[in-house]
Structure 1
Amino acid sequence: MTDTNKAGKRLLCYYGDDFTGSTDVLEALTTGGARTVLFLEPPSERQLARFPDAQCFGVAGVGRSMSPERMNRELRPLLERLKSYGTAIVHYKICSTFDSSPRAGSIGAVLELGRELYPDQKYVPIVAGAPRLRRYTVFGHHFAAGGDGKTYRLDRHPTMSRHPITPMPEADLRLHLRGQTELPVALVDLDDLADSEAAADRLRQRLTDSEAAAVLFDVLDEERLETAGRLIWEEAERAEESLFAIGSSGLSDGLAAHWAKQDLLPSADATLQAPGETDRLLVLSGSCSPVTQTQIEWALAQGYAGIQVPTLEWLEPERAEAASAEIFREALRQLEEGRSVILYSASGPDDPAIAELRARMGALGLETADSGRMIGTRLGRLARELVRAAGLRRILIAGGDTSGYVMRELGVEALSFLSAIVPGGPLCRCYAPDARTDGLELSLKGGQVGGPDYFERVRRGGGPTS
């Protein structure tokens, strides 16, 4: 084992399967005390050298929207590149609601890739729970908070049970994975996570004797999460090469908590300060969750200008550019009048535009999952031109399946954590070759993140709105 587990060295690199989740890990590690930077592509040594104090770094991606075939084609070389960095742990970041299906964002396909790339590793740790985000795994069954503040079993969750691309019909995560891979998955349950050395030794022996390809860890509270982090870190310290792990930002929370106890981290950066408010905010939403719907409705009631983008016209090459130009002119007019603007593809999960887009894509022979790329790319081009034309300094992107494409169109090279807004939805600073984008402040919001006033909280730079 190299000295990557020593203070000041690189402890972890990660790949985020969607951009909003990638910033969630950035927040978890930074606020936990680990200096972290997030790149949009695997960084070169020159790019890493720009952040010499970074103990952890990530690569934001769009794996959650990929088919297994595309994963094998695109993720394999990327994961090989992450392995080459020599960090103690390589973390494939998944959503804390375990978004996945056999055809889109298959976690089972990622597990199979991990087993191929790390053949000497006994098992792949899997952590889905994240108490900070009110996500819990109890005896293998997963629970998540809804927009109404209540906690639901995943197969009864008002959003995730009927997600348009990755619906979750099963709360037992091992059974859910069985539909994606034949590899066996063992469970470390709440009783196994009793915090004692004797329990840890017994657990380690049981897992050593197991034929499981992966091990799912229960997560109910911060104490058990830190115990899981300790057990996973001990496996990394024994490994001859990087340890491959799959998990939500809860995995980062657990590791950071253990690293802090081991004095592997400096204290949380006291220089991080709330950036204050901006006069105008541009919101780009490809989300169709009811949480985002409530946020759009709240912001419109407060005077934000809302413009629904013409997704059907964007599918027609001969009409797409003219439709985008019209949206640009209207959005710029509103921004120049001093209003914050929301560009959104759907007002919520029941918006007829969703079914109309699916039907049209089916008629054109396109996969439903391709909608994220189409919407995100078009929104990204609009964002790039509006930032430049209106001189914006802060934007918000809602929707994990589209945000990655928006970021690429913006030309962003890397992100660092700037300020906490709500758990899982931080404000970040952009690094970009173009001076008009470099320094841009950005929030990436998943569909389940934030209360009704979240957009205004981002505009104000944090804190309550009343």
Structure 2
Amino acid sequence: MKLGVIADDFTGASDIALMLSEGGMPTAQFVGVPKDPAPASIEAGVVGLKTRTIAVQDAVTQSLKACDWLIEQGCTQIVFKVCSTFDSTDEGNIGPVAEALADRLGETSVLVCPAFPENGRSVYQGHLFVRDELLSESGMQDHPLTPMSDPDIRRVLQRQTTWPVCHVPVSGVWAGPAAINLAASASGKAMIIVDAIRNEDLLTLGRAAGTRRLLIGGSGIALGLPQNFGHAPAASTWTGVPGKAVVFSGSCSRATRGQVEAFRNRAPSRELTADDVVAEKLSLQEIVEWTLRQETTPLIYSSADPEVVAAAQQKYGRERSADAIESLFANLAAALSQAGVNRIVVAGGETSGAVVSGLQADILEIGPKIAPGVPALKVADRPLALALKSGNFGGPDFFSEALAILEGAE
């Protein structure tokens, strides 16, 4: 392998894997740190972890383990892939993991850019925008695990790291790759937030990053990287997987709640409330049997308005309620897969992590784009197709569109 990615959740892993695959690099997504060497045909390896909201030291340990494995596979550059909305808390985990990776790789200045203009994420004057809204006004301020109330990601990152945090404004980016690197070198030891408001800015950033050992950002940061390794965009050879399907939704983002409402109007649905899940009032077998009885693809969801989520967290505790729901989704995914369901669409990063863990998948093959940042995926060792969607991604009819592409429709 040439390029390695450490992603802090599974939707983010598939997001950046799609970017690299479309850029022409033979890419695979690994679920957790593999025990065995990577296939020789793979040039970009994406290690998907579930470290965004776990204890800081655990996140650092897992990320360093992934880094070591990628270096052993021959990778000369590592990308620490974080959410395009920079999801984190004042404790981390972006800053502490970034510091640890930089120390391990011998980097003293690290370019940081979560921008993804195609999906409405841009960084201007160090502030993160979601389309035309500041991050703090985009709905992310109500995230149940990582509420983002400060749009200035320079301040956000500075609260998480002992390194200085500096900034390259968009005027510096427009001056070209050499100007970016000159500004970075002038900053000394630092994490350097780089503005990007257009795809062209990310291509410029990619050229500037050619010899760097470590980069930090959203999937957009990978837009210009394949060409550094001699690759050009390539078409997908996806064939699809027919058969039974199910949609899971655990995200509470505005976009996903709208997608849930749209799909409920045309499909059978089943809500999993925090009260029922935490109190263990639900029967796994009964939900499985209900799912299999449906003549059209059903939706099973725990997505709720922020006020409902906050009330459940206050009643049961944030970790207890989240863990209970994720555990149920993991067990449902395993049971339904064993019962013959071979297409699963999932909304939400934490939910996607739970589902993939429940399926005990090791390697995911990258298929075509369903929506910006969301590829079709196949589990390498069985006829099982997946779509793992970050909460805010996709249009109103994402679930229907994903089901069709996973089945092989054009």
Does TM, normalized by the shorter one, top 0.5?
yes
- Among residues 283, 286, 295, which one is paired with 1:323 in the alignment? 283
Residue 339 of structure 1 corresponds to which residue in structure 2? Answer: 296
**Secondary structure class of the residue paired with 1:183:** coil
Q: Is the 8 A contact 1:424 1:449 kept in 2?
A: yes
Query: Quick one: distance in 2 between partners of 1:26 and 1:74?
Result: 19
**Secondary structure class of the residue paired with 2:306:** coil
Where do residues 33-432 of structure 1 align in structure 2 (5 Å cutoff)? 33-46=24-37, 48-49=38-39, 52-103=40-91, 105-118=92-105, 120-145=106-131, 151-157=132-138, 159-196=139-176, 200-233=177-210, 235-236=211-212, 243-256=213-226, 258-259=227-228, 264-265=230-231, 267-269=233-235, 272-273=237-238, 275=240, 278=242, 280-302=244-266, 304-316=267-279, 319=280, 323-334=283-294, 338-350=295-307, 352=308, 354-362=309-317, 368-369=318-319, 371-389=321-339, 391-432=340-381
* Post-superposition CA distance 1:301-322 (Å, at most 9, x none): 11x1111124334435xx46x6
Query: Quick one: distance in 2 between partners of 1:126 and 1:57?
Result: 20
Query: Quick one: distance in 2 between partners of 1:42 and 1:440?
Result: 21
Structure number with greater Rg is: 1
Query: Quick one: distance in 2 between partners of 1:296 and 1:206?
Result: 45
Distance 1:135 1:370, change over 3 A: farther
**Secondary structure class of the residue paired with 2:224:** helix
- Offset, 1:412: 0.9
Where do residues 433-444 of structure 1 align in structure 2 (5 Å cutoff)? 438-444=382-388
- Offset, 1:82: 3.2
**Secondary structure class of the residue paired with 1:177:** helix
Q: Is the 8 A contact 2:364 2:377 kept in 1?
A: yes
Distance 1:201 1:444, change over 3 A: closer
Q: Is the 8 A contact 1:430 1:439 kept in 2?
A: yes
Where do residues 427-466 of structure 1 align in structure 2 (5 Å cutoff)? 427-432=376-381, 438-461=382-405
Q: Is the 8 A contact 1:64 1:106 kept in 2?
A: yes
TM-score of the superposed pair, with normalisation by structure 1 = 0.81
Query: Quick one: distance in 1 between partners of 2:190 and 2:256?
Result: 37
Q: Is the 8 A contact 1:37 1:54 kept in 2?
A: yes
**Secondary structure class of the residue paired with 1:64:** coil
Distance 1:280 1:191, change over 3 A: same
* Post-superposition CA distance 1:150-198 (Å, at most 9, x none): x2111221x21221211111111101112222321111221112355xx
Query: Quick one: distance in 2 between partners of 1:457 and 1:201?
Result: 42
Consecutive unaligned residues in structure 1, runs of 5 or more? 1-9, 146-150, 237-242, 363-367, 433-437
Q: Is the 8 A contact 1:65 1:401 kept in 2?
A: no
* Post-superposition CA distance 1:127-151 (Å, at most 9, x none): 2111121211112111113xxxxx2
- Offset, 1:45: 4.3
Q: Is the 8 A contact 2:47 2:66 kept in 1?
A: no
**What is the aligned-residue RMSD (CA, Å)?**
2.4
Query: Quick one: distance in 1 between partners of 2:185 and 2:273?
Result: 55
Distance 1:76 1:87, change over 3 A: closer
Q: Is the 8 A contact 2:3 2:44 kept in 1?
A: yes
Q: Is the 8 A contact 1:68 1:102 kept in 2?
A: no
* Post-superposition CA distance 1:388-419 (Å, at most 9, x none): 22x22211011102211210111211111122
Instruction: Give the number of aligned pairs.
Output: 408
Consecutive unaligned residues in structure 2, runs of 5 or more? none
Query: Quick one: distance in 1 between partners of 2:239 and 2:119?
Result: 21
Distance 1:206 1:23, change over 3 A: closer
Query: Quick one: distance in 2 between partners of 1:397 and 1:281?
Result: 11
Query: Quick one: distance in 2 between partners of 1:70 and 1:370?
Result: 19
Query: Quick one: distance in 1 between partners of 2:115 and 2:344?
Result: 29
- Offset, 1:274: 6.2
Distance 1:172 1:400, change over 3 A: same
Q: Is the 8 A contact 2:347 2:388 kept in 1?
A: yes
* Post-superposition CA distance 1:19-62 (Å, at most 9, x none): 1111111111111111100010223444x12xx32110111111
Q: Which range is displaced more, 31-40 or 105-114? A: 105-114
Query: Quick one: distance in 1 between partners of 2:70 and 2:325?
Result: 29
Q: Is the 8 A contact 1:314 1:323 kept in 2?
A: no
Give the percent of matched residue pairs that are identical in Structure 1 and Structure 2.
Answer: 28
Letter paired with 2:156: H
**Secondary structure class of the residue paired with 1:65:** coil
**Secondary structure class of the residue paired with 1:191:** helix
- Offset, 1:265: 1.4
**Secondary structure class of the residue paired with 2:248:** strand
Distance 1:283 1:187, change over 3 A: same
- Offset, 1:202: 4.8
Query: Quick one: distance in 2 between partners of 1:89 and 1:115?
Result: 11
Query: Quick one: distance in 2 between partners of 1:300 and 1:190?
Result: 42
* Post-superposition CA distance 1:406-434 (Å, at most 9, x none): 101112111111221111122111123xx
Query: Quick one: distance in 2 between partners of 1:124 and 1:369?
Result: 32
Q: Is the 8 A contact 2:2 2:74 kept in 1?
A: no
